[in-house]
């Protein structure tokens, strides 16, 4: 088996890449990763140098993982600034580091793909080759370590606890319990919480704002231009810079994977009028993912309606099992989203620092468990029922639900 690093996803044939990723997960799609690169969003200049790892056996691709050389920690949603600061205070360089993740996307999903033809022995050998290749790359770069963010359940079993430190976090997801409409979903709420949601939606309705939910292929180039402006303007107000993504990226993904994209746009008075705000969603066979948002101006209740309630409406109508609206946000709990645990895996080359990180994440794990457990006491449902088990670690649905 041979390990190869490529500097761009375009260095490999699209069909060859796609053959390893049978799941419909949108963020490992060739078109998504290629759009990030060709639009200039993931480059050496942006601090996201692609170095995707491929494993071949007799010239046949048998494994792959999206991989990046990072020179900062922006856009990851698993915050390691404290670790970087500790390295610097010790006179060591934390960057570059190797990151197995989807850029700017804190959505749990596959991070490594393997050929279905591998037997048990070949599978173990392949993993050994992957770890050896990563270790050598870190040595060549003088990199501080390797990090895998938000892997799916099937990938989590690949990370030995004797080598990798597992770190947990909390997100807030919506789960479909067989609802046929939004009103039926609200029936699962306690009376007071149900009234709060109705009141919130009514505020938007009273302003005569109209919503359109369009597939990626139905959105015009001019509307993608407007959406990009809304996204960048809103990002600038919030963070002081214009955001990671640009118009070219949005246009490219709309062309490459239109069936995986849904744009929810809000219009004043009529759908013929320009967009006041919009939220860009991705989807696969089981899950809706809320990703990017932008608005011309602040309108009471518009963010919640566009980014959450319209998404729930869509998920119910499409028979999707789950709605992942993105990272953070305790305000989501009262709107029917359940606190769940996510995880990441970390290996630091410096043994002393790795041990310190293991101690830190072990203590943090207990704190996160207590936080997640407490947060669940605030769910708005009549009986507090959720679809997650007691451990609360997010498991991505394994089999598609018929639509």
Q: How far is CA 119 from CA 65, 127, 152, 328, in A?
A: 19, 12, 21, 40
Whole-model pTM above 0.85?
yes
Arithmetic mean of pLDDT, 204-211: 94
Percent of the chain with pLDDT over 70: 96
Q: Say yes or no to pLDDT of 22 above 90.
A: no
What average pLDDT score do residues 60-81 get? 96
pLDDT at 403: 23
Closest of 374, 377, 381 to residue 187, by C-alpha: 381
Quick one: DSSP state of residue 24?
Answer: -
Architecture of domain 2-170+341-374: 3-Layer(aba) Sandwich (3.40)
Band (pLDDT 50/70/90 cuts) for residue 388 is: low
| pLDDT digits 0-9 by tens, 77-118 | 999 999 999 999 999 999 999 999 999 999 999 999 999 999
Q: Tell me if domain 2-170+341-374 and domain 177-320 are identical in fold.
A: yes
Q: What is the number of alpha carbons within 13 Å of residue 156 lying toward its C-beta?
A: 17
pLDDT value, residue 397: 52
Say what the pLDDT of residue 391 is: 60
Q: pLDDT by residue (tens digit) across 329-348?
A: 899 999 999 999 999 999 99
Distance (Å, whole) CA 267 – CA 275 = 5
- How much is the pLDDT for 384? 57
Across the chain, what does the average pLDDT equal? 93
Domain boundaries, the chain: 2-170+341-374, 177-320
Q: What are phi and psi of 305, to 5 degrees?
A: -65, -45
How far lies 336's CA from each of 194, 288, 324, 343, 382, in Å? Answer: 10, 15, 12, 22, 11
Where does the pLDDT of residue 402 fall: very low under 50, low under 70, confident under 90, or very high at 90 and above?
very low
Residue 238 has pLDDT above 90, yes or no: no
* Domain 177-320 homologous superfamily, CATH: Gcn5-related N-acetyltransferase (GNAT) (3.40.630.30)
Q: What is the pLDDT of residues 245-292, one digit of tens each?
A: 999 999 999 999 999 999 999 999 999 999 999 999 999 999 999 999
396 has pLDDT over 70: no
């Amino acid at each position: 088996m041979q390990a190869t690093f490529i500097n761009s996803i375009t260095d490999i044939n699209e069909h060859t890449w796609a053959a390893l990723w049978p799941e419909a997960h949108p963020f490992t799609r060739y078109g998504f990763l290629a759009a990030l690169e060709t639009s200039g969003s993931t480059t050496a200049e942006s601090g996201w140098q692609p170095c995707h790892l491929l494993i071949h056996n007799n010239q046949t691709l048998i494994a792959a993982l999206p991989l990046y050389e990072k020179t900062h920690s922006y856009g990851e949603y698993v915050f390691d600034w404290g670790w970087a600061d500790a390295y610097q205070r010790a006179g060591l360089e934390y960057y570059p580091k190797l990151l197995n993740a989807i850029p700017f996307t804190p959505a749990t999903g596959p991070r490594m793909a393997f050929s279905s033809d591998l037997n048990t022995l070949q599978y173990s050998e392949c993993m050994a080759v992957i770890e050896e290749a990563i270790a050598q790359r870190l040595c060549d770069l003088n990199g501080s370590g390797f990090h895998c963010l938000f892997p799916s359940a099937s990938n989590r079993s690949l990370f030995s606890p004797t080598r990798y430190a597992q770190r947990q976090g909390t997100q807030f997801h919506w789960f479909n319990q067989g609802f046929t409409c939004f009103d039926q979903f609200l029936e699962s709420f306690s009376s007071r919480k149900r009234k709060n949601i109705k009141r919130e939606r009514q505020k938007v309705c009273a302003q005569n704002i109209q919503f359109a939910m369009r597939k990626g292929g139905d959105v015009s180039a001019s509307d993608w231009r407007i959406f990009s402006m809304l996204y960048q303007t809103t990002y600038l107000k919030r963070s002081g810079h214009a955001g990671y993504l640009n118009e070219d990226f949005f246009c490219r993904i709309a062309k490459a994977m239109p069936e995986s994209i849904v744009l929810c746009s809000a219009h004043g008075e009529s759908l013929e009028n320009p967009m006041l705000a919009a939220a860009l969603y991705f989807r696969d066979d089981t899950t809706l993912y809320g990703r990017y948002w932008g608005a011309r101006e602040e309108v009471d209740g518009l963010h919640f309606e566009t980014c959450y309630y319209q998404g729930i409406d869509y998920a119910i109508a499409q028979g999707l099992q789950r709605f992942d609206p993105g990272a953070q946000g305790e305000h989501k709990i009262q709107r029917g989203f359940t606190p769940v645990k996510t995880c990441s895996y970390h290996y630091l080359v410096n043994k002393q620092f790795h041990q310190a990180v293991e101690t830190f994440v072990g203590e943090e794990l207990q704190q996160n468990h207590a936080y997640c457990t407490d947060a669940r006491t605030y769910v708005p449902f009549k009986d507090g029922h959720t679809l997650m088990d007691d451990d609360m670690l997010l498991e991505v649905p394994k089999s598609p639900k018929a639509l």
